[in-house]
Amino acid sequence: MNGTTKEEFLAAYERYAEPIYRHCYFRVSSASQAEDLVQETFTKVWQYLSEGKPVENMRAFLYRVATNLIIDQSRRRREVSLEALQEADGSFQPSTDGHRVVEKKVLMSEVHAALGLLREDEREILVMRYIDDLGPQEIAEVLGTSANNVSVRLNRAVKALRAHLNPT
């Protein structure tokens, strides 16, 4: 493995670690599991690179690896984690937290609850579109499908979320 590839890999880490973390966090509702997934994602990508295999689009590849890892764990029953209510450096203290902090926690709780109502594939595509801000073509590249298929799946996921949030 040459030095240039290692540098490129580390540059990719600097650039994409946080987006990948964010993606994983909204998929699994746990900061610690999201960190584990970031570590595993970059470890797998490094192993792939060190076998001399080329990666054309590092961003798409990272999302693909991350989403595959999450799907491997998809049998786990997803619950809204108390972690989603906690600050990174402290515990949830409703009696002492400021108003803005409480607002933020309520927001996160609501978002996690809504995403938790969805199937894994619905959640996957909604997070990619509205959290990761990937376009349909980029999502298509990550999932190995067509942009048309992504658009169809996205519409279905939005409808499913709407139905859950506004049941008739």
Partner 1 sequence: MEEPFSHKLAAARESVQLSPQRKEALKQRLLAMIDSTADAAAPVSLGWTLRHSKQRPGLSLLKLIASPMPVLVAISLAVFVFGGTSLAAEGTVPGDALYPMKVNVNEKIVEALQFTSESRAGYEAQVAERRLEEAAELAVSVGVESDDAEELSERFTEHAEMVKEKVRKLSEGGEVRAAADVASRFEASLRAHQAILKKLEARGGSVTKVGAAVRTTLDDVANVRANLESSIAARGTAGDEREHRSSRSAVEKQQRSAIQGIQSLRARLASDQNLVASDSSVAVAAQLKVAEELAARSKVQADAGAYGEAFNLANRAVRLVEETRTLVEAEGRLKVDLGSSFKATSGGAAGAGAGASSQVSGSVDVTSTSIEADADGELEVEVDL
CB of 36 to partner 1, least distance (A): 5
Rank residues 36 and 97 by Cβ distance to partner 1 and give the closer one: 36
Task: Round to whole Å and give the CA distance between 166 and 48.
Answer: 44
With CA atoms as reference, report the closest residue to 23 among 13, 35, 11: 35
Rank residues 51 and 56 by Cβ distance to partner 1 and give the closer one: 51
Cα angle for residues 94, 97, 102 (degrees, 5° grid): 70
Residues at the site binding partner 1, with contacts judged by CB under 8 A: 1, 6, 9-10, 13, 17-18, 21-22, 25-26, 35-36, 38-40, 42-43, 46-47, 50-51, 68, 71-76, 88, 104, 107-108, 110-111, 114, 126, 130-131, 133, 158, 161-162, 165
SS3 content of the chain, % helix, strand, coil (to 5): 75, 0, 25
CB of 147 to partner 1, least distance (A): 18
Rank residues 9 and 147 by Cβ distance to partner 1 and give the closer one: 9
Rank residues 56 and 88 by Cβ distance to partner 1 and give the closer one: 88
Rank residues 13 and 147 by Cβ distance to partner 1 and give the closer one: 13
CB of 153 to partner 1, least distance (A): 14
- Helix, strand, or coil (residue 168): coil
- Give Cα 18 distance to the centre of its chain: 10
Place of tokens 């540059």: 11
- Helix, strand, or coil (residue 157): helix
CB of 50 to partner 1, least distance (A): 5
